[in-house]
Structure 1
Amino acid sequence: MQTKVRYISESVQLGNGLLDILDCVKSIEDMFCVYRTGDFMMGGENMHSHGLSIRFSRNTDDRENLYIAMPAFLGGRFNCAGIKWHGPNVKGVIETPLGCSETCYTLILNDPDTGRRKAIIPANIITSYRTAAVSVCAAKYLSLENPEILSIIGPGKINLLITEGILKLFPSIKKIKIKGHSDEGVNRYVDLIKKQFPYINIMKCGSIQEAVEYSDIISVNPGFEFDNIKDMPILREKWIKEGALILSMSFIKIPNNMLYNCSYKIVDALKMYENYIDEYGYPSYSHLSILGNSIADAIHIGKVSKEEVFELANVITQDVKIIHDRKPILFASGGLGIEDIAIGVDLLEKAEVNGLGVMLEE
C-alpha cells in the first residue's frame, strides 16, 4: 500500500495560525512533565546530548560549514521519534519568513515503532518559537509575582517572541527597557511590539547597565557572533534587582560571585551541559559560552554543588519550590531535541485537523 507523508511549509505554518507562542508554551510545559518521568531519549552516551556535529569546508568561500543532527524520542502524550538537523551555520546565508538566518533547519517526525515518516517540516520558525517558549515557560514559573519591567538584551526574532509571550502572561508589565547592537534592530523591535501592544512604554537604552537596572525579568539573547568573551554582554551583580529573573539562551557572562554564591540556578537539562564537558573537556564555556556551561563548569571545579542547581521540570511538577528572596534567579536553556519534537507533534496535529500541508507520496 502506498503511503504518504505530510509536508508543512513555513508559509503554511505562519499563514494559518499553526504556531502561537502560548500554545507552544503549553507544549513545552507538557514536554518537561514527560521529561521528569524519564520517558524520553536524546543522543550521546548520557542520552542528553544537544546533537552530533560535522564540519567541512565550503565550496563558495573560505568559511567552514557546521551541520548538527539532533535525534530524539519523546514519550507520554507525544509518543514520537524524530530528528532535527541543520546547517551550514554561516552568517547571512538563509532567508526565512522571520528574517535572515545562518542555518537551515529541517524536522522529520517518525512513528517510534515502525519508523514511518509522519511529517517533514522546515523548522527555522519552529526553532524560534520553541526557543522563545522555553524562556516564557520559565518566566511563568520563576518570575516575581506581578512583574512590571521587562529588559530585553538583543532585540532579534527570538526576543520578539519572548516579549509577546511574557506580555500576554503578565499584564502587570507596563515598561520594556531595550539594548541592541544597532539602531535598526532596536527600531524594528519597537515598531513590531508597539503594533501589538500599543500601551507599552518602551525605553531605548545606551548601555546594558541602564537596560537591566530595576528590571524584574531580563531576557538576554544577543546571539553567538562574538570574537571573544570580552565582547559578550556581562551582567554585573550590583545592577540586578533583588529577586529578578535572568533568562539566557545564548552567549552571556555572569560574574563568578553571582554565579557561585548569590543566585538561584535553574536549567533546562543539567546533563546536556555535563555532556559538553565530556565531549569537549573543561572548561566547556570556552567552547560554547552559554550560561548552562558556566554552571556545569562551576560544578566540575567544586564551586557549586549539584544540589544547588535545579531543573525547570522539577519546578513545573512542584517537586522543587523556588522561594523568592534577595537572590536573582538564573535560568539557562541550551536547546533540546525533545523540545522540537513536542512543538512539531502539536503543529502536525493542528495541520491534520485543518487539512493543511501537502501530502507527498513515498
Structure 2
Amino acid sequence: MTKDTKIDFLYLSEPDMVKAGVTDMPACVDTMEEMLALLHVGDYRMAGENNNSHGSLILFPEESPHETMPKNTPDRRLMAMPAYLGGSFGTSGVKWYGSNIANRERGLPRSILMFILTDTETSAPLALMSANLLSAYRTGAIPGVGARHLARRDSRVAGILGPGVMGKTSLSAFIAACPDIDTVKVKGRGQKNLDLFIDWVKETYPQITTVYAVETAEELVRGSDVVAYCSSGATGDPSQYPIVERDWISPGTFLAMPALGNFDAGVAGPDVRKVLDYTGLYDAWVSEVPHPTHDHIPLVGMKFMDMVTDGELKRDALEDLSAIVAGTTPGRQNDDEIIMLSVGGMPVEDVAWGTVVYRNALKNGLGVKLNLWDEPVLR
C-alpha cells in the first residue's frame, strides 16, 4: 500500500482573512457561543497541568543583562497560546502573540499575531494565518455572547471605554446581540482616536443615531445599558486601572470587562452579579501568578478571585458564562439585574474562529497553498 506523505497547507494573509469572513461579527458571536458550550462539557484542552492555561509567556527584565536583550516596556511580551477544541471543530492550533506598546512609534499595531491551525490526529499544518483580526474579533465576540444572555433585550445605549480595536469589536458584538442600540458614548485619551472611532461608527453602523465622546468614566457608565471597558495600559497598580463605581450604574446594566478594570466596594456587593467567561482560566491564573493576582492580571475577574482567596467573597458568588450558555445557570432573570462579565481571552477562541475562517477560505478558494514536503527527509 502506497502512503501519501505529501503535506500542503494554506497561507492566509490579512486580506485573505477578510475575504474569508474574519470580520463577520454575528457569525463570530455564534461561534464563540458554540465554543463556550464545549468548554462547559470539557471537550477541549489548553496548556498547563490543569488544561486551562492562557499560554506560555516570555517577559523581559527591567534592566537587561545583555546588550542585545530588550528591556521590559509597557505591554511588552511574547506568548505562545496553544489549544485543542472538540465538537464540530476537532482541530488544534497555537497563536504566537507579540506585543510592545512602542510599536506605535513605528506605525505598527501594538500587537502582531500569527496563528497556525493543525490537524489534531497528525499535527500536520492546515493553515498559517494572519491573526490580528482573528484575535480582535474573537475577543470582542465574547462581550457579544455575554450581551446575548445577560443584557436587557431592549438595550439601546452603549458605553465604550477605549476607542481602539477592542472597543470597536466589542461594540460590533454588542450590536450583533442587541440590534436596538442607537446611541454610543465613548471615552478615550486622545482626540484623534476619538474622532476616528466616531467616524467609524457613523460609517459602519448608520442605524446609530447618536455617537459622542464623554470626559469621564462616570459619564460613560451613567445611563448606559451595555458597557465595555477596553483600554490598554500598564499593569501592577490596580489603583491606576479604570474603575467602575456602583453609584454610576443604572438598574439593568450589563458590563463587559475584556481589559484593565477595577471596581469599588459597592460593585463588590451582592446586588451585582459577577460572571467569569470561563472559571478554569481564572483558577489557572491563581495557580500561576503571585497573590494578589490582580496586580499581575488586570482583569476584574482576578479581583473577584483575590476576594475569594482573602475571604471577602464566597466562591459560589461567581458565575460562569459557559454554564449560562449551556443552560445550567440562568442568564438575565429580570430587567433590573446588574451584571458584570470578566473576559479573559482563551486560545480555544482562536482555534474556534480560525477553524471557521479556514473552512470558509477552502470553500472559496482563498489563500496560497504552500508545500511542507512531498516526502519527509527524516522519519
* Counterparts in 2 of 1:61 and 1:341: CA distance versus 1, 3 Å: closer
Q: Mark the structure with the bigger radius of gyration.
A: 2
The 3 A distance-change label for structure 1 pair 62 and 336 is: closer
SS in 2 for 1:129: helix
Distance in 2 separating the partners of 1:246 and 1:18: 25
Whether 1:324 and 2:334 are equivalent positions in the alignment is yes
Larger deviation, residues 275-284 vs 243-252: 275-284
Query: What is the alpha-carbon root mean square deviation over aligned residues?
Result: 2.1
1:2 aligns with 2:2: no
The residue type paired with residue 160 of structure 1 is K
Q: Does 1:93 align with 2:103?
A: yes
CA contact (8 A) 2:147 2:178 kept: no
TM-score, normalised to structure 2's length?
0.89
1:193-250 Cα offsets, whole Å, 9 max, x none, are 1012234201221111111101110111011346743332111100001121010011
Confirm or deny that 1:191 pairs with 2:199: yes
SS in structure 2 opposite 1:163?
helix
Match of 1:246 in 2: 255
**How far did 1:15 drift?**
4.2
Aligned position for 1:20: 24
Unaligned runs of 5+ in 1: none
CA displacement at 1:60 relative to structure 2:
8.0
Match of 2:153 among 145, 150, 161: 145
TM, length-normalised to structure 1: 0.93
CA distance in 2, matches of 1:104, 1:294: 28
- 2:362 matches 1:352: yes
Alpha-carbon distance between aligned partners in 1 of 2:182 and 2:110, rounded to the nearest angstrom = 34
1:182 to 171, 178, 190: 190
Greater Cα shift, 347-356 or 180-189: 180-189
Closer, same or farther in 2 for the Cα pair 1:354/1:159, shift >3 Å?
A: same
Find out whether 1:134 has 2:149 as its counterpart.
no
Q: How high is the sequence identity, in percent, across the aligned residues?
A: 26
Aligned to 1:343: 353
Task: Tell me what 1:76 maps to.
Answer: 87
Asked whether 1:276 is paired with 2:285, we answer: yes
1:49 maps to a residue whose letter is S
- What are the within-5 Å matches in structure 2 for residues 204-353 of structure 1? 204-225=213-234, 228-322=237-331, 323-324=333-334, 326-353=336-363
Contact 2:17/2:130 (8 A) holds in 1: no
**Deviation digits for residues 245-275 of structure 1, max 9, x if unmatched?**
0100110111133124331011111121122
Alignment: residue pair count: 359
8 Å CA contact 1:152, 1:211 repeated in 2: yes
Partner of 1:144: helix, strand, or coil?
coil
Q: Report deviation, 1:276.
A: 1.6
Distance 2:287 2:149 in 1: 30
- Structure 2 portions without partners, runs of 5+: 373-379
Instruction: Tell me if structure 2 keeps the 8 A contact 1:128–1:157.
Output: yes
